[in-house]
Amino acid sequence: MSPAPTDASELRDQLRTAGQRREELRRAWDAARNPELMQLAVHTIPQLLRAERCGLFVCSVDRTRAWLVAGSRLEERQIDVSLVDTMVGKAVSTGTMVFRHPEPGSVRPPSGTEQQTKFAVQSAMTLPLRRVDGTAVIGAVQVLNQIDGCGFGPHDEEALRDIVFFLQPALERIFDEQRMLAEADALDERIAGLDVLESSLRSDNQMRIFSPSLTDSDGQWLHHRWQGKRYPPFILPEATAALCEAWDTTADDVFIATHQKVGTHLTKKFVLEVLRAIHEFPVGHPYRSGDIGHRTVPWPEVLLSQHGRTAWKTFLSRTAGHPRLWYLHNAVEDMPTRHIHPRSRFIVTVRDPRGAAVSQYHFWRRHPLLRVDPQITMAAFVERFVEGDLYFGDYHQHVLGWVRRLPPTIRPEQVLVLRYEDLVEEKLASVQRIARFLAPTMQLSEDRVAQIAASTDFQTMKQEMTVRPGSFHFNPKVFFRSGRSRGWQQELSPQLAARIADKSRRLWGGSELSCPPEAFPE
């Protein structure tokens, strides 16, 4: 066995190589498992049989367990059950349909799976899944909780058998090809170990950067290029490509979409607190803590780049079945997804470009990973801001994309546009707008609205993240600078402010320079 590497750059190379091989396996597995068909099945079967949920299970190679291929509001492999003393196990071992009928008034202790998924089973129908030739049983299809409350009957059994007939070939292929999962799991374990080891060799506790990286002609502004736009070097281009190839959003996904330094963390606090007010998250769910750091509200490309598939799958599993919050900095045309669900939601925060420019100026020259000259002048930065070659692209075009140029895959009713200035100055109204967008039929009490608004106060947030940082990885004393909505007026000369305003007027039109007028129709 070769000695463990002790050089951080060597570890980063090994991480990249292992990650590339892991993505090769992911592509092969996606080709074998036909994820679109599996999701179609778990979406339509409950509707056809008037049930609450269903799950598709395949036996392990050694036939001692069965794991979830796809399930209602669950992630692949989130459930892994023994073939002993379970309904799936009984269906597999006997080769016959297994029913559970409602028992009014009876009290049954919850099974381990019910405890894990926080879902109580009242009635069930579990059909063994055979090979196409009718021989060996290789899995099961399970339907849970008949909505009428009377349980499943012969007609339901017949309908399920008809549906499963068409799923057999695809599920048989998954059973036969699942050996590649062992290699994928081994790679996930290796990547996780390399991640910990490489991180331990960096005393700064910052994100790793990936080579090769580009710089400007003066050797500054470290970056990669993605779709022609400048991206920070701590995002691995292969990770973004992998998401574009395979990530399908869900009806539970809520995205905070911002350019940088326009109120991202403030928006996260508003949205997370509103979600905590309108949803009952179970014990152990990450949102119960109120943490707005990167492990609770992740940046997708960074999560996959920095920590690999294990961290990605863990986050999906921990948040499955409930609203799931992400934040993005990409332009709308650069969504790191394959398919966008028609009920995914996007909360877009925009800021007066003059305020965005000042905030970006202070942030980027203090950022420890970007190699920006800390002595850069405000005038030089404003020139760069107006020219538009920023991280994630031109700010004005970025806002135009999310406000005026949505792709056909995102409908206007999926998007809520907020002003940063309103999040600072009109907190109660901002809470109510977010709540109406996320839960149109629910009314928050005045006291709860006031509590949420108070929690977003700048000094309150700064103090909270200083004392209890959670997974927030920036020093709030350094990177939470002022919290003022119009502080740019003290930092920009009239000439520099006019330079930015001229661009706003030219691209956005109208007299309101802080946002394109149609973002807030009368």
On the 0-12 / 13-18 / 19+ scale of CB atoms within 10 A, 92 is buried
Q: What is the pLDDT of residue 1?
A: 43
pLDDT surpassing 90 at residue 39: yes
Q: What is the pLDDT of residue 205?
A: 66
Band of residue 477 on the pLDDT scale cut at 50, 70, 90: low
**Local structure of 258: helix, strand or coil:** coil
Contact between 144 and 124 under an 8 Å Cβ cutoff? The reply is yes
Counting every residue, how long is the chain? 522
d(C-alpha 405, C-alpha 336), whole Å:
17
Contact between 253 and 341 under an 8 Å Cβ cutoff? The reply is yes
CB atoms closer than 10 angstroms to residue 485: 19
> Which has the higher per-residue pLDDT, 416 or 135?
416
d(C-alpha 441, C-alpha 433), whole Å:
13
Contact between 128 and 95 under an 8 Å Cβ cutoff? The reply is yes
pLDDT surpassing 60 at residue 512: no
d(C-alpha 389, C-alpha 405), whole Å:
20
State percent of the chain over pLDDT 90.
76
State percent of the chain over pLDDT 70.
91
pLDDT surpassing 50 at residue 2: no
pLDDT surpassing 80 at residue 100: yes
For domain 252-295+321-326+333-519, the CATH superfamily is P-loop containing nucleotide triphosphate hydrolases (3.40.50.300)
**DSSP per position, 452-478:** HHHHT-HHHHHHHHHH--TT--S-HHH
**Least confident residue range of 60-64, 66-70, 118-122, 161-165:** 118-122
Average pLDDT over residues 150-163: 94
**Local structure of 223: helix, strand or coil:** strand
pLDDT surpassing 80 at residue 333: yes
Closest CA to 81 of 63, 107, 96, 95: 63
**Least confident residue range of 66-75, 280-289, 346-355:** 280-289
Single-letter code of the amino acid located at 421: E
> What is the distance of C-alpha 206 from the center of its chain?
21
**Local structure of 214: helix, strand or coil:** strand
Q: Which residues pair with 70 in a beta bridge?
A: 56
**Local structure of 80: helix, strand or coil:** strand
- The residues spanned by each domain of the chain are 252-295+321-326+333-519
Q: pLDDT tens digits, residue range 180-218?
A: 999 999 999 999 999 888 888 775 667 888 888 999 999
pLDDT surpassing 80 at residue 487: no
CB proximity list for 465: less than 8 A, separation 6 or greater: 292, 472, 476, 480
Closest CA to 289 of 476, 115, 468: 468
pLDDT surpassing 70 at residue 513: no
pLDDT surpassing 80 at residue 469: no
Q: pLDDT tens digits, residue range 276-316?
A: 999 999 888 999 988 898 889 999 999 999 999 999 999 99
CB proximity list for 321: less than 8 A, separation 6 or greater: 73, 74, 117, 118, 119, 252
CB proximity list for 267: less than 8 A, separation 6 or greater: 256, 258, 327, 347, 349, 418, 423
pLDDT surpassing 70 at residue 517: no
Q: Which residue has the tokens 């409350």?
A: 149
pLDDT surpassing 50 at residue 412: yes
pLDDT surpassing 80 at residue 446: yes
Mean predicted lDDT score pLDDT of the chain: 90
Helix (H) or strand (E) holding 373: none
End-to-end CA distance of the chain: 69
d(C-alpha 39, C-alpha 44), whole Å:
9
pLDDT surpassing 90 at residue 368: no
**Least confident residue range of 218-232, 364-378, 452-466:** 452-466
Distances (CA, A) of 181 to 174, 187, 189, 211: 10, 10, 12, 29
Band of residue 8 on the pLDDT scale cut at 50, 70, 90: confident
State the maximum Cα–Cα separation within the chain, in Å, rounded to a whole number: 81
Average pLDDT over residues 59-75: 95
Q: What is the pLDDT of residue 203?
A: 59
Q: pLDDT tens digits, residue range 78-99?
A: 999 999 989 999 999 999 999 9
pLDDT surpassing 60 at residue 386: yes
> What is the distance of C-alpha 288 from the center of its chain?
17
